[in-house]
């Protein structure tokens, strides 16, 4: 049983909010370049809720983001061109995927329009007077931000949030909220072509979670030391009466803190002795006890698995406590947490085969996800199907670590499209369970053969994977007589 407690009220030392930025009754028009990305789309929703007139352009205007935006009265334009700027919007927000040479970017500059990055606009127009809870790290940002938002919401705090995914408890990636709190997924990627600082430097969190730190984003960072420097810049923005929450054993995070820290730090561990500690009840992480200062706070019993999710939960509980929610009440909320879309989301169970969709982008995330599944399903067969789509993996930076991250799978099928840029067969010298496939048809045919053994198929990609999600379900359903309700990341 969970320890039940009365839902807590938020801390009474919250800074009261004074937003917002509309002036003299005039409806301010903002235009967003790259509006259909998760971050920019979420920003558009928040701006609309503030009362702004919002429009935007993108080269990929399609559901579900396009539907979500249009339902809020946001005008969308397909493609980039100078004509999209007719009427001269008050602000142009330029996404970090846009660069010089883009026709609409060039028109913004030539017309002398006021422009800024998404993180800067968010900081100035939404976060300025909020108690910001920022979640940073190479892994787990989306899930931890979703957990923290849900803990606050469950306990009566209608927090605002902007998350790089869709928490299933909310069904949306962003909202303004009506409290003095705002939860933000604090990404280390750069802000815009004219602002190469990490996004999170703009957010100035009062509560900062630093989940972990590894080398990633090889397209913009030369090495891990460059990322550490950006995290140090983030630490510099956290006030002295704020709080930093991080794992005790992460060497890179400890290096960052050693560069200078002016804020209280609370450490987390699993099966160890930090101030915040989780003790596993079940090896797969589906049940664990929570301890604070050595005192038991209760235990979490939920549908998620994996030690990485236990770590995420512990950080969210600690951050919620800083915002005035007791661990007991946070634990009660997590029992009702439904995870995040595309994080080990079961999209089909067909003739004894369970198909998962997982937003994989880094070898460590792949390894921890498969380890959690292995502990959950025991000796049942696991097949991992990977599209190395992130910029870092496409550059071949993680060759050896990618191969070794798949060791918990009975079989790993890696997709190598024509434009990959390096030969994935190099992975085979590090692991014996890897098969390289150059076509989606080949992958589907292979999985049809493997399906007779049952088990679990995990589709791992941070993109659309060429539409394999629906096609695989249809192929596995052949000759079974099943009537499927098909699901994919775009639904």
- Residue intervals of the chain classified under CATH 3.40.1190.10 are 129-334
Cβ proximity of 137 and 227 under 8 Å: no
Task: Please report the pLDDT score of residue 146 as a whole number.
Answer: 96
| DSSP code for 466 | G
CATH number, domain 129-334 = 3.40.1190.10
Going by C-beta distance under 8 Å and a sequence separation of 6 or more, which residues neighbour residue 22?
28, 50, 51, 52
Q: Is the pTM of this model over 0.85?
A: no
Asked if the 29-117 domain carries CATH number 3.40.50.720, the reply is yes
d(CA 89, CA 431): 54
Dist CA 156 CA 149 (whole Å): 11
Task: Check if the beta carbon of residue 204 is closer than 8 Å to that of residue 228.
Answer: no
| The pLDDT of residue 389 | 73
Query: Helices marked H in 50-184 — which ranges?
Result: 65-71, 103-111, 118-122, 141-154
- Cβ atoms of 325 and 157 closer than 8 Å: yes
β-pairing verdict for 243-247 and 207-210: parallel
pLDDT over threshold 70, residue 477: yes
Give span(s): CATH 3.40.50.720, the chain.
29-117
Report d(CA 361, CA 215) in Å as an integer.
Answer: 12
The answer to whether residue 209 scores a pLDDT higher than 60 is yes
What are the counts of helices (DSSP H) followed by strands (DSSP E) for the chain?
14, 23
- DSSP state for residue 105 in the 8-state scheme: H
Q: Which CATH superfamily is domain 345-477 in?
A: Mur ligase, C-terminal domain (3.90.190.20)
**Res. 393 pLDDT band, cuts 50 70 90:** low
82-123: per-residue pLDDT in tens?
999 998 999 999 999 999 999 999 999 999 999 999 999 999
- Name the H helices within 81-189: 103-111, 118-122, 141-154
Per-residue pLDDT at 5 exceeds 50: no
Q: Give 103's contacts (C-beta < 8 A, 6+ positions apart).
A: 80, 81, 82
Q: Contact 416/407 with Cβ under 8 angstroms? A: no
Residues of the chain with CATH 3.90.190.20: 345-477
Nearest residue to 381 (alpha-carbon basis) of 442, 452, 431: 452
Which among 119, 59, 112 is positioned nearest to 90, based on CA atoms?
112
> With contact defined as beta carbons under 8 Å apart, do 469 and 347 qualify?
yes
Q: What is residue 133's predicted lDDT score, i.e. its pLDDT?
A: 98
Q: Which range among 226-240, 400-414, 469-483 has the greatest average pLDDT?
A: 226-240
């Amino acid at each position: 049983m969970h320890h039940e407690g009365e839902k807590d009220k938020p801390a009474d030392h919250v800074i009261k909010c004074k937003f917002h930025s509309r002036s003299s009754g005039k409806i301010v028009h903002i235009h967003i370049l790259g509006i259909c990305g998760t971050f920019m789309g979420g920003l558009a929703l928040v701006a609309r809720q503030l009362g702004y007139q919002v429009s935007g352009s993108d080269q990929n205007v399609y559901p579900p983001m396009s539907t979500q935006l249009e339902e809020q009265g946001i005008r969308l334009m397909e493609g980039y061109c100078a004509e999209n700027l007719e009427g001269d919007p008050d602000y142009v927000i330029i996404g970090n995927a846009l660069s010089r040479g883009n026709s609409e970017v060039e028109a913004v500059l030539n017309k002398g329009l006021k422009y800024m990055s998404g993180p800067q606009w968010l900081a100035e127009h939404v976060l300025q007077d909020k108690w910001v809870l920022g979640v940073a790290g190479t892994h787990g940002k989306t899930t931890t931000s979703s957990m923290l938002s849900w803990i606050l919401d469950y306990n009566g705090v209608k927090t605002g949030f902007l998350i790089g995914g869709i928490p299933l408890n909310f069904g949306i990636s962003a909202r303004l909220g009506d409290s003095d709190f705002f939860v933000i997924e604090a990404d280390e990627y750069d802000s815009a072509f004219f602002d190469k600082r990490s996004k999170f430097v703009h957010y100035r969190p009062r509560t900062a979670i630093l989940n972990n730190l590894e080398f990633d984003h090889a397209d913009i960072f030369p090495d891990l030391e460059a990322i550490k420097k950006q995290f140090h810049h983030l630490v510099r923005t956290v006030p002295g009466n704020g709080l930093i929450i991080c794992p005790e054993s992460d060497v890179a995070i400890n290096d960052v803190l050693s560069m200078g820290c002016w804020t209280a730090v609370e450490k987390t561990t699993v099966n160890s002795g930090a101030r915040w500690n989780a003790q596993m009840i079940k090896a797969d992480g589906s049940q664990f006890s929570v301890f604070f200062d050595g005192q038991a706070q209760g235990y979490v019993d939920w549908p998620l698995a994996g030690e990485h999710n236990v770590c995420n939960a512990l950080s969210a509980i600690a951050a919620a406590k800083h915002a005035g929610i007791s661990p007991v009440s946070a634990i009660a909320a997590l029992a009702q947490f439904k995870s995040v879309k595309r994080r080990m989301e079961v999209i089909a169970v067909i003739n004894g085969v369970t198909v998962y969709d997982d937003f994989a982008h880094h070898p460590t995330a792949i390894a921890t996800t498969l380890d959690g599944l292995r502990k959950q399903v025991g000796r049942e067969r696991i097949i991992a199907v990977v599209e190395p789509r992130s910029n870092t993996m496409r550059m071949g930076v993680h060759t050896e670590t990618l191969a070794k991250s798949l060791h918990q799978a009975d079989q790993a099928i890696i997709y190598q499209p024509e434009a990959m840029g390096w030969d994935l067969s190099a992975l085979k010298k590090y692991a014996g369970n890897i098969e390289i496939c150059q076509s989606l048809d080949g992958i589907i045919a292979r999985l049809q053969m493997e399906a007779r053994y049952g088990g679990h198929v995990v589709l791992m990609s941070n993109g659309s994977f060429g539409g394999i999600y629906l096609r695989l379900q249809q192929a596995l359903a052949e000759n079974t007589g099943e009537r499927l309700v098909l699901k994919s990341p775009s639904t």
